[in-house]
Structure 1
Amino acid sequence: MITDIFYSFIIITFMVFGFSRPYVALAAVLWIDTVKPQNTSFSFLSGKPLSLILTAFFLLTLLVNTKKLRKVNNGAFYILFFGFMLWITLSHLNAEFPLYSAIKYDTAIKTLFILFFIPFTISTKKDFDFVLSILYAASSLFITIGGIKSAMGGGGYGISLIGLQGSGFMYSEGSMLATLAVCLIPLSLYLAHYSFLSNKKIFRYYCYLVVFCALTTQIGTAARTGLVVLAVYVLLHLYYTKKKLKGVAFLMVLAVIGSQFITDNWLKRMESIDQGTTTEKSAVGRIVVWRWALDYVADRPILGGGFYAYLANAGKLDQYGQEGEVVISQGGAKAYHNIYIEVLAETGYGGLLIFLGIIVHTLLLNSKKPNPNDPWSTESSKAIKTFTLLYCAGGMFINVAFYPWIYILYTLSVAKNSISSKQVNEEKESRY
């Protein structure tokens, strides 16, 4: 009851301040779709269509505040975003399992539609940081829960650290939670030092807490994906850090902190990586599905098989094993466990090309020459680029292609690029 009252207060606050500020209303939609209080409530919010209500409210704010929306002069953004929406629609209409496909398509197309408006609603650095901070607060909630539970000795492979299995939460699965945890490390460091909230000590301390919880979450999930993503982060951190000794010192501190919570079960799980490609069923199962997907899409190269196309591999995976590998034989279907294979099988090579285009454009937007007079531009680009690369690395082993983060990072990058370009132009004009 108390929790529901608290959530209701947050929602009302969003609506009061968001009526004349579309970016606040948009942040409310992102918050509600991440936290999902209607799914965990046992009181008056239980089962309420909160996402629908706040989405409708956001669209209303767009109509009321049309003059406050900014222009987005980025042709590639329109081509890639509308192109992807069109392509997944065509793939869905051509789906092998139309009833199942409709479930995933409904969520995917609505998500893309709402996220499309991000660049139009964000006009200033403060708007950008506000939306990013709200999304960070919502997502880091799961990391702090999982991290604290892990630090206290909870968790284990196959156990939901956040205790929300079956509630529609994208991060109830260990590998997904572990990937998100590492992705939030660069975002935590950026927000702690460069956001408009960085002057608030309590916010900075919370960001540091999330970094700590990100490490303990890796141990609590015992997910090998998390270790792979963490290794990629170490390499990226050393690459982007100008002061190498300081960067190494930071990583050593993280290593020392994390080592205090390592368990024998975690070590045993990580040691299985060496044999993962031949004798470990979980890893071999992924590889076998990837082989099947490449064979499957050969007959549907343009549009793929639509959402949930992996259902077609039921009872067929034993045909794709190779000599020396453990035999994968199961009557049911097995998911892709790879975002690239997921997009390829479900939307064909055309969809995969656009999807990769979105990722590449995100990286390019954040690789432009930074404004030397504005560290915000440099550091926000570094955080988004690192987050994107980490997410793509983790995506090699989990199905997260149509979860919101990639498209959020892309649209935020478009918005940030517009803000930076405007700032540079204003500085040039002020010189004359």
Structure 2
Amino acid sequence: MKYTERCQDDKTRKHGRIESLKAHDLNDKRIIFLFFYFSFLVCIVNSIRISAIFIFVLYQAYYFFNPATKWWGTHIPDIRFSFYIVLTLLIICAYKWSSLKENKIHKVPQFWFLYIMVLLYALVTPSAVFPDRQIMALDYLVTVAILVTVVYKLVRTERELDYILWGYMVFAGYLGYYVSQFGRTSSGRFQGAGMVDSPDANGVAAAIAPALVLCLYYFWVNPKFLNRVILTILGAFMANALVQLGSRGAFLGVAVSVSGFLYYLYFSKMRKKNQRMSVVFLTIFGLIGAVSVTDSAFWQRMTTMLTQSQNMEQTTTETGATRFKFWAGAWDMAKDHPFGKGSSAFIFYSPVYVPESVATGASRNRAVHSTWFEALTEIGYLGLLMLIGVVYYSLITSRRAAKRLKEQNKLPQYYKVIAIQCAFLGFIVTMTFLNRLRGEMLYWCILYCSIAYNLFYLKAEAAEKNADMENVQPKQGVTKASISTRRSIEAAKK
């Protein structure tokens, strides 16, 4: 009798735990459901009340949400939200085109390199080794080129730039929170739940990494306590997610971007009172945070960047990471196919150009693991030059904007541009070790640099020219009048 009662009690407790888990799961689903639609509602309302640029903020939100890869995605309608968001932005831009003429596309050199790069992708389509993948890649690049152009046209003020930067940080922070919920799930790192263009752990880390230095900038420049608390929470979620994701390329990118920004803050001649002391405190605070979120598994993985391992990174002939062998193979492939062979071309040709002595894991068909060599193998030497041009002029134009702000002694805006530059530099380091040619974050960084160049350099230059014209024209009028008067007097005397 006692045994029967005990079994019954165990069943009751087990049933109670199951019901409790179901209730907790249901509550989580309700919260995520409400957050998803609340984000949509807030962005749409603000796009009507404040600025149409909130439609792009909504695009950023949906990019990081990507319900198809989340456990709560079954509760979201299967609708192509991103397509309709881009279409809405395009319609708004077309409707407001006459009032957006001040944002001149032809004055931003990186856009021209971007458009040529997309054109090269279209031209290589007939010879692509994977026709279906090539069509999808071309469709994406055309879409992102249109998106970047439209958003550039719509951003007319610094506040609107802040909106999209905050949108990026908030929703990257959400993804960091999501990753932190699960921790390491496979092979000592988090896998799955990525974005459309970044389904794996490395792609997710590459998308999150640039946001950290932007969080650092807004934390430093914003004196409001509540904002600093929010930024600290967002930064903590993102840093913890990067640890769980274990991407070595993203780790290098964060190290470069954050240390570069702190270097500017400390050594720049343009600084506010007690700035160097604040940099010291930020560095100490950051190191304490890094020690808190990292563990031995993370550091063990980071120390294998340039060392051999027993699986994919070992060669039988020499030391060094396998990706260097992939890069050499990509260079050899470009000699035989100088115009490229379309999307994922190196995956197709890697068994030919990577020596058999290189251990590549279960398959000989491998990605090249570098955006630069990805461009080289897919759209050839000219395509690689276009990518270099896009990156180079994005950095040059943002540097011009920072120089102009420094001359005007606009300290917050100056360091905002520096933060954007550092975020892009960090991403450049990251994408050197990852295939990110079709990654959204590359083009968002280009967009941020272009907007900064337009707001703080092109518009300032145009305003100065207009002021000079206003000052010169009256003088010219007086001069012409005096000359005509003098000539009439001389004629009367004769």
TM over 0.5: yes
**In the alignment, is the contact (CA less than 8 A) between 1:234 and 1:251 conserved in 2?**
no
Letter in 1 for 2:93: L
Structure 2, unpaired ranges of 5+: 1-28, 268-275, 314-319, 472-494
Shift of 1:61: 1.6
1:388 alignment counterpart: 424
Q: How far apart, in 1, do the equivalents of 2:40 and 2:103 lie?
A: 29
Letter in 1 for 2:435: N
Q: Map Cα deviations across residues 213-251 of structure 1 (whole Å, 9 max, x no partner).
A: 343334322333343234323541343123566535433
Letter in 2 for 1:327: A
Q: Map Cα deviations across residues 396-428 of structure 1 (whole Å, 9 max, x no partner).
A: 211112212222222232222222132465478
1:344 alignment counterpart: 376
Shift of 1:60: 2.1
2:348 counterpart of 1:312: yes
Q: How far apart, in 1, do the equivalents of 2:225 and 2:101 lie?
A: 33
Change (3 A) 1:366 1:320: farther
2:124 alignment counterpart: 91
Change (3 A) 1:335 1:241: same
Change (3 A) 1:385 1:332: same
TM-score of the two chains, using structure 1 as the length reference: 0.85
Query: Identity of counterpart residues, as a percentage?
Result: 16
2:228 counterpart of 1:192: no
1:110 match: secondary structure: helix
Aligned residues: 417
Q: Which moved more, 1:112-121 or 1:181-190?
A: 181-190
Q: How far apart, in 2, do the equivalents of 1:188 and 1:126 lie?
A: 16
Q: How far apart, in 2, do the equivalents of 1:189 and 1:110 lie?
A: 31
2:436 alignment counterpart: 400
1:269 alignment counterpart: 301
Q: How far apart, in 2, do the equivalents of 1:33 and 1:217 lie?
A: 17
2:133 alignment counterpart: 100
Letter in 2 for 1:72: N
Shift of 1:380: 1.8
1:399 match: secondary structure: coil
Query: Rg bigger for which structure?
Result: 2
2:266 match: secondary structure: coil
Q: How far apart, in 1, do the equivalents of 2:328 and 2:410 lie?
A: 47
Letter in 1 for 2:324: I
Q: How far apart, in 1, do the equivalents of 2:35 and 2:421 lie?
A: 34
2:399 match: secondary structure: coil
**Residue from 211, 233, 247 that aligns with 2:235:** 211
2:340 match: secondary structure: coil
1:375 alignment counterpart: 411
Q: Which moved more, 1:154-163 or 1:48-57?
A: 154-163
Structure 1, unpaired ranges of 5+: none
Change (3 A) 1:232 1:419: closer
Change (3 A) 1:132 1:317: same
1:34 alignment counterpart: 64
**In the alignment, is the contact (CA less than 8 A) between 2:311 and 2:360 conserved in 1?**
no
- Give RMSD over aligned pairs: 3.1
2:53 match: secondary structure: helix
Q: How far apart, in 2, do the equivalents of 1:292 and 1:220 lie?
A: 31
**In the alignment, is the contact (CA less than 8 A) between 1:281 and 1:328 conserved in 2?**
yes
Following superposition of structure 1 onto structure 2, how do residues 13-412 of structure 1 map, counting pairs within 5 Å?
13-18=42-47, 21-37=51-67, 40=70, 41-43=72-74, 45-73=76-104, 74=107, 76-146=109-179, 148-149=180-181, 154-155=183-184, 158=187, 161=190, 163-164=192-193, 168-194=195-221, 198=222, 201-233=225-257, 235-242=259-266, 246-276=278-308, 281-282=312-313, 284-301=321-338, 303-313=339-349, 315-316=351-352, 319=355, 321=357, 327-328=359-360, 330-368=362-400, 369-371=403-405, 372-412=408-448
